[in-house]
Amino acid sequence: MGRVQPIFFNLENSMIALQAYIDQKNKWQKLFKGPQYEIQTAKGRQVVAACLDSDLSPENLTCDGELSRAEINRRHKVLTAAATELARMDPAAAKAIYELYTGE
């Protein structure tokens, strides 16, 4: 028989895309000596939601039409995954992500 997987839900492992997004943003913030992003507080989650909304806008997502279709699709997939994880974590913050279409 195969190995039995634990049935509990690990919140840390479910936030991989969101954490990668925040880490990438924080590297740029550190380079330019800006404030670090965090998701431990409601205000921090609102700031991250605003950044995701901005990054998901058509102009930023496509770099004003300069990116290839494959790169646009890759970026959209990564950003949507991070936004979905944030929405699962804090539905109130997700309301600030206007560019996220959830199908609801």
pLDDT digits (tens, 9 = 90+) for 66-104: 999 999 999 999 999 999 999 999 999 988 898 876 555
From 6-10, 14-18, 34-38, 42-46, the region with the lowest mean pLDDT: 6-10
**Would residue 103 count as lying in a domain?**
no
Residue 84 lies in a domain: yes
Q: Is residue 4 one of the residues assigned to a domain?
A: no
Q: CA 60, 28, 34 angle in degrees (round to 5)? A: 110
In a domain, 70, yes or no: yes
Domain coverage including residue 54: 15-23+38-94
Total domain count, the chain: 1
Measure the CA angle with vertex 79, ends 20 and 46; round to 5°: 80
- How many percent of the chain have pLDDT more than 90? 76
- Whether residue 104 lies inside any domain: the answer is no
